[in-house]
């Protein structure tokens, strides 16, 4: 009976402590540009609101919550930029063994080449801020979803998908590129012309939307890009 009780107690402790953790920060909006530099991350969600405030929420789970201490993050509000950076502590990673991932989380290798240990990292970044803001997002594997913005946007990911809901009626200079993915849009784009004819490509689009204006750059390597106009 004592052995059974000990087993149940240990199991309960694992359920309590092995779980996702959350970081929440808020900042007064004074026109800052948002700069997300995420070497590690699985999902980025950026939405606009009408508050003069920036809300940043980071939810993370490393090796099913057992190794959350390797998470290394920084949010810095200075020189007209709000910079969010996410890394994993290399020294702590070296001490971890190989994790048997269950497939639902992103898989990364610490160290170099085949000498590193595989880990499971599920890192979600959510930001709420005024839609007129300029935004730069650079990540490796994260899926990126942006909704309701009308500022200059520079979104780049390697294997993640990009889904952008652009503010209705706002003109833009559009530059979209994907190597192995597809490009999908419901917007009436004025395509770049060559010898008087529109240049049409399934992997690269350069166009003007309405009267132009804002710079809209979307780039990924292996995934799809969706550009839609907001109905709001």
pLDDT tens column, 44-64:
999 999 999 999 999 999 988
Measured in Å, how far apart are the chain's first and last C-alpha atoms? 62
| Side-chain-facing half-sphere of 65: CA atoms under 13 Å | 11
The span from the CA of 133 to the CA of 90, in Å, is 33
The span from the CA of 97 to the CA of 218, in Å, is 37
Beta-strand pair 183-185/21-28: unpaired
* For range 152-169, the mean pLDDT: 95
pLDDT tens profile 97-118: 666 665 555 566 555 555 556 7
pTM (2 d.p.): 0.84
Sign (positive or negative) of CA dihedral 216, 220, 226, 232: negative
Task: Please give the backbone phi and psi of residue 209, each rounded to the nearest 5 degrees, phi first.
Answer: -110, 125
pLDDT tens profile 196-215: 555 556 688 999 999 899 99
| Side-chain-facing half-sphere of 168: CA atoms under 13 Å | 3
Round the average pLDDT of the chain to a whole number and report it. 85
* Segment among 10-14, 18-22, 87-91, 227-231 with least mean pLDDT: 10-14
- Split at pLDDT 50, 70, 90, the class of 85 is very high
User: Given this model, what pLDDT does residue 3 score?
Assistant: 52
Task: Please give the backbone phi and psi of residue 45, each rounded to the nearest 5 degrees, phi first.
Answer: -125, 120
Give percent above pLDDT 70 in the chain.
Answer: 78
Higher pLDDT: 113 or 154? It is 154
Q: Are 184 and 224 in contact (CB under 8 A)?
A: yes
- H-state helical runs in 162-210: none
**Residue found under tokens 């833009």:** 172
| Side-chain-facing half-sphere of 129: CA atoms under 13 Å | 29
């Amino acid at each position: 009976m004592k052995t059974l009780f000990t087993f149940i107690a240990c199991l309960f402790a694992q359920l309590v402590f092995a779980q996702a953790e959350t970081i929440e920060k808020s900042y007064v909006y004074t026109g800052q540009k948002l700069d997300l530099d995420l070497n590690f991350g699985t999902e980025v969600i950026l939405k606009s609101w009408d508050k003069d405030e920036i809300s940043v929420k980071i939810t993370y789970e490393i090796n099913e919550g057992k190794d959350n201490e390797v998470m290394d993050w920084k949010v810095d509000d200075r020189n007209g930029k709000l910079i969010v950076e996410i890394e994993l502590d290399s020294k702590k990673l070296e001490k971890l063994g190989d994790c048997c991932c269950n497939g639902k989380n992103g898989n990364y290798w610490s160290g170099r080449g085949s000498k590193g240990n595989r880990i499971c990292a599920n890192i979600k970044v959510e930001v709420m801020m005024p839609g007129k803001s300029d935004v730069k997002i650079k990540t490796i594997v994260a899926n990126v979803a942006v909704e309701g913005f009308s500022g200059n946007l520079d979104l780049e990911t390697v294997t993640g998908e990009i889904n952008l809901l652009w503010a209705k009626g706002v003109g833009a200079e559009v530059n979209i590129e994907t190597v192995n993915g597809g490009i999908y849009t419901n917007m009436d784009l004025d395509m770049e012309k060559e010898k008087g004819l529109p240049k049409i490509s399934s992997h690269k689009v350069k166009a003007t939307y309405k009267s132009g204006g804002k710079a809209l750059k979307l780039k990924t390597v292996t995934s799809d890009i969706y550009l839609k106009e907001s109905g709001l």
